Amino acid sequence: MQKVNVELGKNSYPILIGDALLSRSDIFRQYITSNQVMIVTNATIAPLYLDPLVDALEGLGLQVKSVVIPDGEQYKTLEVMNDIITRLLQEKFSRDCTVIALGGGVVGDISGFAAACYQRGVNYIQVPTTILAQVDSSVGGKTAVNHKLGKNMIGAFYQPRAVISDISVLKTLSERELHAGLSEVIKYGLIRDTEFHGWLEGNMDKLLQRDHDALVYAIKRSCINKAEVVAGDERESGIRALLNLGHTFGHAIETGLNYRDWLHGEAVATGMLMAADLSCRHGWLTQDDVERIRQLLSRAQLPLVLPAGLDSQRMLDLMAVDKKARDGSIRLVLLKSIGEAFVCDNFNGEKLHATLEHFQP
């Protein structure tokens, strides 16, 4: 089992990465604070992994309840969060209870937010079941639900007690989820780890074949990158913003599509290539580097043009309400090179327009 620590003072916690961790009740036991445990999962994951986890925890003599939410980003809403709270109250769960998020990014974000808000904060554990969740959303304490006017607009910074990443569950991941997860893996290379980008170029085929060692390496290295960034900036007042490479474009795509049709990682992939394109138009990134990025994203079978129906003006409107906007103006994470991102608020509006046009389908 691999271990990566997220160093946040009294909010520090471990990320545990390994095989068949779902049945390791000895590991879970260390992070559970009372006998009340609520597992939040979704309708896709529940038939596969809920029973084994319940069995493991009931083996510890715990009172284990579960709530199954619908699968999909469009259900990451305040209403579904309230359903989780209702379940906790119906079971008379106290402030000492533990919420376990068993699922992908949506389950993690909404469960984490429910845990942050229930009785003003209860213990919670992330058990991410997608690559995307294992390398990104489960780490760093960002929790949220979406609002119809913007993604992740209602949320909290709230750290889990532990992240338990079972690599075995990736076997049942759909091809599309696998590709979407690799999008966030590629992000770490682009923003701060040139060497990792090179490793990904050399090992993309293995990752696509779900080679065990390659997956463990990519996930661990991604977590190390994320943990370092988060440790330096828990509440995103500075460098943490770099993790949003491609996300302002990506969130606009997701919001414009009402969180349907595209997966988060897919929208981020197109967004990262758009950020690279815009960086190149300013002379900050070479055309060769843009091509390298396009190649790698393309090998991971990610979409690289905007969906139909989101013209440049609509994209601009959607980007202006994204939370990376400050006082109404748009800030973007752009690239100086492969492995070095920066926050930019003085880009050229006409060049942004050219990028938005260039990516029309």
Q: Rule CB under 8 A: which residues touch a second copy?
A: 34-36, 78, 82, 85-86, 89-90, 92, 94-96, 116-121, 142-144, 147, 149-150, 152-157, 235-236, 320-321, 323, 325-328
User: Active site includes 240?
Assistant: yes
Q: CA geometry: angle at 204 spanning 201 and 209, to 5°? A: 165
Residue 195 or residue 345: which is nearer to a second copy going by CB? 345
Residue 98 or residue 165: which is nearer to a second copy going by CB? 98
Considering the candidates 123, 244, 254, 266, report the single residue annotated as catalytic. Answer: 244
Rounding to the nearest 10 degrees, give the CA dihedral for residues 98, 100, 101, 102.
-170
Measured from the CB of residue 238, what is the shortest distance to a second copy in angstroms? 13
Q: What is the DSSP letter of 206?
A: H
Measured from the CB of residue 189, what is the shortest distance to a second copy in angstroms? 26
Considering the candidates 151, 192, 226, 281, report the single residue annotated as catalytic. Answer: 226
What element of type H or E holds 4?
strand 2-6
User: Active site includes 236?
Assistant: yes
Short-list 99, 103, 104, CA closest to 84: 99
User: Active site includes 184?
Assistant: yes
Distance CA 116, CA 99 (A): 10
Measured from the CB of residue 157, what is the shortest distance to a second copy in angstroms? 5
User: Active site includes 235?
Assistant: no
User: Active site includes 351?
Assistant: no
Residue 84 or residue 107: which is nearer to a second copy going by CB? 84
* Three-state DSSP state, 148: coil
Question: Could you tell me if 355 and 319 are in contact, meaning their C-beta atoms sit under 8 angstroms apart?
Answer: no
**Residue 293, amino acid:** I
Residue 31 or residue 113: which is nearer to a second copy going by CB? 113
Question: Could you tell me if 295 and 202 are in contact, meaning their C-beta atoms sit under 8 angstroms apart?
Answer: no
Backbone φ/ψ region at 328: left (φ over 0), alpha (ψ -120 to 50), beta: left
Considering the candidates 240, 254, 281, 331, report the single residue annotated as catalytic. Answer: 240
Distance CA 336, CA 317 (A): 26
User: Active site includes 251?
Assistant: yes
Measured from the CB of residue 58, what is the shortest distance to a second copy in angstroms? 17
User: Active site includes 266?
Assistant: no
* Three-state DSSP state, 165: strand
Residue 121 or residue 202: which is nearer to a second copy going by CB? 121
Considering the candidates 247, 254, 266, 281, report the single residue annotated as catalytic. Answer: 247
Considering the candidates 87, 197, 220, 251, report the single residue annotated as catalytic. Answer: 251
User: Active site includes 346?
Assistant: no
- Catalytic residues, which ones? 120, 142, 184, 226, 236, 240, 244, 247, 251, 264
